[in-house]
């Protein structure tokens, strides 16, 4: 029930639209009932020229209406009904269209809100959340799961109201005209509802598994498409095809399980309906033969009871679609309810420009509670304007240390202090506005070169963008592209070489001109000529700035004020290049491996 209420929560901003849609749906359902009820005077008075006979005690206003109909001339009544047919069906069609349009509008608005909330939440969540989730899985939540929510609202919710109202109207007609005999239908309703309920519970579980399998497929697609170069380089097309077939086959099997159970509802409903109809015909046949009910009354009762089958079948479909929606809703709320681990304190002030320096105080860090520490009691003080190089073997914790500065993660223990205050006390956005980054993984977007360089600086002029590109040695190759700075570079910069992507990323950092720089292997994919040009540009850029340079290639860090040597999460050396060559065995070994190989 709680999960269902959470699903309805998405409708809250659109209650006004729901109210209008509910009125239109109610009128459409009533008009359906009027169509059925018109059988009574048409058959008894207009066609057979008999009085309406109903064997039950009716409310006074109904008796008065029946008496009035019985006293109308059959020809007059027939003419009135003939004249009313076209306007009535036009009115019925208008309200039927209106309820469908409004309910779909309601669902689309709700789903639009869900999709936006999901995307906004994904923007808020910290990097530790993403380290525990696959990209394809998250994509599936926004596409496949949101689609299930759409079905649950647009089809299931619409039919829940419309078919429930129709069911009530038909039952009212059956009991009003048929009296105690109509109880036969009520007796058989549990025979329909109970198995459908059991099937629905099973279907909800299968729906969750089906959606998880779709997430697996989406994840595999994301990995394979983004890594297509590696797939082709290693001739692994057949291997990936086989992986996809396996995942697709599992998804197919769960779909068939769900389909089998959904299709069981129709024969169960029809069987119960057939039994009820047979008994009703036996009972009412006698009443009709004895003249206790007119043929029109018999027709309305039979039509009402037979018409119950359609809303009942629809409501079983509603039940199944709702179960799928609830399964998707649970998965969606796993994201919406996820805790943001790195967040601002309420009313956190903006961080001003760095005036003294940054202190890493007893920093311990691990990615998960069950994992080992990546950084272990790290102590480091960096003065404003200092150029710090961080070196060490793979897995030493270099990138992890850099990721703590803009608070992509918070330390498990210890503090990072800016100008004497814990960085957690400041507004996150103001902190990150002071930091420029070029990461080891070059993240570019499927947009123009211009937009990628100006990312985060949309108000920048064309001249400033080109100046940043020149400093990053990117201007010349950009001018050789078909649309120059307006060239769309494809997903993750697919149309550019590794070195070209690196230079665009460097131009982006240069343009931001932040007082704190983090360069994580910033020149790793450049050829020798470009590397030299970019290094000189970076050295100019870093003048007067507090810079952290992470590098495996030690030729890029020799001008650093201090070099920090990391190994297994500990600082095992600190000093200039010349002093470390003499005093630090690990640094010397790294240097010798590169230059004496």
pLDDT in tens, 139-182: 777 777 777 777 777 666 677 777 777 777 777 776 676 666 56
Is the pLDDT reported for residue 567 higher than 60?
Answer: yes
Average pLDDT over residues 238-249: 77
Q: Residues near 271 by Cβ (< 8 Å), separated by ≥ 6?
A: none
Q: Please measure the distance between the N-terminal and C-terminal CA atoms of the chain and give it in whole angstroms.
A: 68
Give the closest residue to 176 by CA, choosing from 57, 80, 69: 57
Mean pLDDT score across all residues of the chain: 75
Q: Where are the alpha helices (DSSP H) in 38-157?
A: 39-41, 60-70, 74-124, 127-131, 135-140, 146-151
Q: Are strands 413-418 and 357-365 parallel, antiparallel or unpaired?
A: antiparallel
Cα angle value 226/112/444 (rounded, 5°): 25
pLDDT digits (tens, 9 = 90+) for 23-44: 888 888 777 777 766 766 666 6
What is the arithmetic mean of pLDDT over 529-553?
74
- Cα separation, 22 vs 15, whole angstroms: 10
Question: What digits encode the pLDDT tens for the residues 475-484?
Answer: 888 888 888 8
The tens digit of pLDDT for each residue in 84-143 reads 778 778 888 888 888 778 887 887 888 888 888 888 887 777 777 777 777 777 777 777
Who's near 297: CB < 8 A, 6+ residues apart? 40, 44, 52, 53, 54, 177
**What single DSSP character describes residue 493?**
G
Of 514, 490, 511, residue with least CA distance to 501: 490
Residue 269 and residue 197: Cα distance in Å, rounded?
Answer: 12
| Among the listed residues 430, 340, 314, 410, the one whose alpha carbon sits nearest the alpha carbon of residue 123 | 340
Give me the sign of the Cα torsion angle 343, 345, 350, 354.
negative
What pLDDT, on a 0 to 100 scale, did the predictor assign at position 87?
Answer: 79
What's residue 291's pLDDT?
A: 62
**Element of type H or E holding 516:** strand 516-520
The encoded tokens of residue 276 equal: 């009820």
Model confidence at 597, in pLDDT bands (50, 70, 90)? Answer: very low
* pLDDT higher than threshold 70 for residue 191: no
Confidence of residue 268 (pLDDT cuts 50, 70, 90): low
Predicted pLDDT of residue 142: 77
User: What is the average per-residue pLDDT within 205-229?
Assistant: 67
**331 phi, psi to nearest 5 deg:** -70, -35
How far is 364 from 153, CA to CA, in rounded Å?
A: 48
Structure tokens at 259: 């389909």
What proportion of the chain, given as a percentage, has pLDDT over 70?
Answer: 67
**pLDDT-based confidence at residue 435 (cuts at 50, 70, 90):** confident
Strand pairing category for 357-365 and 375-383: antiparallel
The C-alpha angle 578, 554, 433, rounded to 5 degrees, equals: 110
CA-based max dimension of the chain: 119
- Looking at residues 229-253, what average pLDDT do you find? 72
Nearest to 423, CA basis, from 440, 439, 400, 403? 403
For each of the domains in the chain, give its residue range(s) and CATH number, in order of start. 2-336 (1.20.1560.10), 384-405+432-595 (3.40.50.300)
The highest-confidence range among 209-213, 232-236, 295-299, 453-457, by mean pLDDT, is 453-457
The per-residue pLDDT for 209 is: 67
Asked if residue 384 lies in contact with residue 373, where contact means CB atoms within 8 angstroms, the answer is no
Higher-confidence residue of 565 and 276: namely 565
HEC assignment per residue over 262-312 = HHHHHHHHHHHHHHHHHHHHHHHHHHHHCCCCCHHHHHHHHHHHHHCHHHH
3-state helix, strand, coil in the chain (%, to 5): 65, 10, 25
Residue range 544-560: mean pLDDT, rounded: 76
Whether 193 has a pLDDT exceeding 60, the answer reads no
Q: Which residue has the higher pLDDT, 191 or 418?
A: 418
Task: Give bridge partners of residue 378 from the DSSP assignment.
Answer: 363
CA dihedral (560, 565, 566, 571) in degrees, to 10, reads -110
For residues 99 and 4, the answer to whether their CB atoms sit within 8 Å is no
Any residues with CB less than 8 A from the CB of 263 and at least 6 apart, and which? Answer: none
Residue 249, CB-side half-sphere exposure with 13 Å CA sphere: 6
CB 557 within 8 A of CB 392: no
pLDDT at 229 over 60: no
Say if residue 425's pLDDT is above 80. Answer: yes
Least confident of 317-326, 355-364, 436-445, 558-567: 317-326
Q: How confident is the model at residue 488 (pLDDT cuts 50, 70, 90)?
A: confident
How is residue 377 written in tokens? 């009691």
């Amino acid at each position: 029930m709680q999960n269902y209420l959470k699903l309805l929560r998405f409708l809250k901003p659109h209650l006004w639209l729901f109210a209008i849609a509910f009125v239109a749906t109610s009128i459409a359902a009533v008009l359906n009932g009027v169509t059925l009820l018109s059988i009574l005077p048409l058959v008894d008075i207009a066609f057979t020229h008999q009085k309406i006979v109903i064997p039950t005690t009716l409310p006074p206003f109904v008796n008065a209406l029946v008496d009035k109909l019985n006293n109308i001339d059959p020809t007059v009544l027939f003419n009135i009904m003939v004249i009313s047919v076209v306007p009535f069906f036009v009115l019925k069609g208008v309200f039927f269209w209106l309820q469908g349009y409004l309910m779909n509008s309601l669902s689309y608005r709700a789903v639009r809100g869900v999709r936006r909330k999901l995307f906004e939440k994904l923007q808020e969540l910290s990097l530790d959340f993403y380290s525990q989730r696959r990209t394809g899985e998250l994509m599936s939540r926004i596409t496949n799961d949101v689609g299930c929510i759409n079905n649950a609202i647009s089809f299931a919710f619409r039919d829940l109201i419309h078919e429930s109202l129709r069911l009530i109207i038909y039952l009212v007609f059956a009991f009003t005209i048929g009296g105690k005999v109509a109880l036969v239908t009520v007796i058989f309703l549990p025979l329909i509802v109970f198995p459908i309920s059991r099937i629905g519970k099973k279907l909800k579980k299968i729906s969750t598994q089906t959606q998880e399998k779709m997430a697996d497929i989406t994840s595999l697609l994301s990995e394979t498409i983004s890594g297509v170069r590696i797939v082709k380089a290693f001739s692994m097309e057949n291997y990936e095809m086989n992986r996809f077939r396996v995942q697709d086959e599992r998804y197919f099997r769960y779909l068939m399980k769900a389909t089998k159970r959904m299709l069981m509802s129709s024969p169960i409903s029809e069987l119960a309906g057939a039994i009820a109809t047979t008994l009703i015909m036996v009972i009412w046949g006698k009443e009709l033969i004895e003249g206790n009910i007119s043929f029109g009354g018999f027709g309305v009762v039979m039509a009402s009871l037979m018409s119950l089958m359609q809303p009942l079948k629809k409501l079983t479909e509603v039940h199944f679609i709702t179960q799928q929606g609830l399964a998707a809703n649970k998965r969606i709320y796993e994201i919406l309810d996820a805790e943001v681990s790195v967040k601002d304190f309420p009313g956190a002030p903006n961080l001003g420009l760095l005036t003294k320096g940054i202190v890493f105080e007893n920093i311990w860090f691990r990615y998960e509670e069950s994992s080992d520490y990546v950084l272990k009691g790290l102590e480091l003080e960096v003065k404003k304007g200092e150029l710090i190089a961080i070196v060490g073997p793979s897995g030493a914790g270099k990138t992890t240390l850099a990721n703590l500065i803009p608070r992509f993660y918070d330390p498990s223990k210890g503090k990072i202090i800016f100008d004497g205050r814990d960085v957690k006390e400041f507004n996150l956005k103001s902190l990150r506005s002071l930091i420029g980054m070029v990461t080891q993984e070059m993240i570019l977007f499927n947009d123009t070169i211009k937009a990628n360089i100006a990312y985060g600086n949309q108000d920048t002029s064309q001249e400033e963008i080109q100046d940043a590109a020149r400093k990053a040695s990117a201007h010349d190759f950009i001018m050789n592209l078909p649309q120059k700075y307006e060239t769309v570079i494809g997903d993750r910069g697919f149309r550019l070489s590794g070195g070209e992507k690196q230079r665009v990323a460097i131009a982006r950092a240069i343009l931001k001109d932040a007082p704190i720089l983090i360069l994580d292997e910033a020149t790793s994919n450049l050829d020798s000529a470009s590397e030299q040009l970019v290094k000189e540009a970076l050295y100019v850029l870093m003048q007067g700035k507090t810079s952290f340079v992470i590098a495996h290639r030690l030729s890029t860090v020799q001008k650093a004020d201090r070099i920090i040597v990391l190994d297994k999460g500990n600082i095992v050396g600190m000093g200039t290049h010349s002093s470390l060559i003499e005093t630090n065995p690990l640094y010397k070994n790294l240097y010798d491996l590169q230059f004496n190989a």
